Amino acid sequence: MKPKVFIARPVPPAVEAYIAKYCDYKIWNRQERIPDAVLLEEAKSVDGLLVQNPPITREFLAQVPQVKIISNTSVGYDSFDVEAMKELRVIGTHTPFVLDETVADLVFALMLSAARRVPEMNEFVKQGKWTKDTKPEELFGVDVHHATLGIVGMGRIGEKIVRRAVHGFEMNVLFHATTPKPELEEKYGIRYSPLDELLEKSDFVVLIVPLTESTRRLLGEEQFRRMKPTAYLINAARGAVVDEQALIGALEAGEIAGAALDVFEQEPVDPENPLLRMEQVTAVPHIGSATAKTREAMVMKAAENLVAGVTGGIPENVMKELKE
Ligand code: DGY
């Protein structure tokens, strides 16, 4: 008898065919997010789930004790209670590696957009404001090349950002991470820095850390005050790594020059969020990994992890807290 799984999001036909080869399955084929209550009901009769960042709580897990694996289609898994999964011996997997270059591309898109005011200039031209009387300095931005880049978080994506920064833009790179990275310092000529120093010296501060209890609200009022008034914040991590009210305050007070944000405390972001009314803020809807090729690779990876987990194999991408 094949194992039973529930696929809690639409997937490409090739992924569905792959899962069908090994499992009996049901699928949530609607574009809107699956309601938590529906996911719970479906989870009660299967061995494994393929999901996209639902809240996986201790209460949820307690009601589906037969579930062996929950395969998440995302590199981040901050909506999962990994402690409870560990205790209850549920395998959790995610999709690292396949999205690293794509997210690093978006970080540069955000950095360049903020520095050269691309979204603002786009509106300027389209609204017919570019006239013979436009003063050249009205269009000035700041340079990215040769600037100082501070990267908070130096995992797989951090390294891809470094490669672009050093080889492409000849930037001076500082990084802050929980473990030393002597091999990267050597390879790229970058330097570890305490967080305060990184904030004080950087022209661009990029956040690319997972959201955990130690990174929640890592940047608040005090940290923004340390940044240069000419500096930009780029957040491609999770919204809650930043105290959003403090960010609004820092932007209003001119403590920093601007921000480019892929992520928000609440997603989708509330249209009334003051950040969206600020010219010096570039906002995109959590599209770090959103290219067709990468998203397909992520779903296929999640399917492979799921199949391995329900067929007695060892999934390739077990969440690090859950590795034996
Ligand atoms: C992830 O997979 O966690 C990224 O945020 C996607 O953009």
Instruction: Tell me: do 187 and 241 sit in the same domain.
Output: yes
pLDDT on residue 324: 73
Per the structure, how many domains does the chain have? 2
Sign of CA dihedral 69, 85, 316, 157: positive
Closest ligand 1 atom to residue 73 Cα is 2
Cβ neighbours of residue 257 closer than 8 Å, sequence gap 6 or more: 142, 228, 229, 230, 231, 232, 280
Closest CA to 73 of 318, 303, 307: 303
Domain that holds residue 77: 4-98+292-322
**Is 145 part of the annotated catalytic residue set?**
no
The ipTM value here is 0.90
Sign of CA dihedral 314, 319, 322, 324: positive
Q: Where are the beta strands (DSSP E) in 86-164?
A: 91-93, 148-152
For residue 145, what are the CA distances in angstroms to 100, 111, 116, 142?
22, 11, 12, 9
Closest ligand 1 atom to residue 288 Cα is 7
Report the nearest-CA residue for atom 2 of ligand 1: 74
Instruction: Tell me: do 167 and 235 sit in the same domain.
Output: yes
pLDDT averaged over every residue in the chain: 98
**Is 267 part of the annotated catalytic residue set?**
yes
260 CA from centroid of ligand 1 (Å): 16
Each residue of 259-318: pLDDT tens digit?
999 999 999 999 999 999 999 999 999 999 999 999 999 999 999 999 999 999 999 999
Q: How confident is the model at residue 197 (pLDDT cuts 50, 70, 90)?
A: very high
C-alpha 164/C-alpha 188 separation (Å) is 11
- Residue to probe by mutation, ligand 1, list 79, 93, 99, most atoms within 8 Å of CB: 99
Instruction: Tell me: do 34 and 141 sit in the same domain.
Output: no
User: Domain containing 147 — which CATH number?
Assistant: 3.40.50.720
Q: Where are the beta strands (DSSP E) in 48-163?
A: 48-51, 69-72, 91-93, 148-152
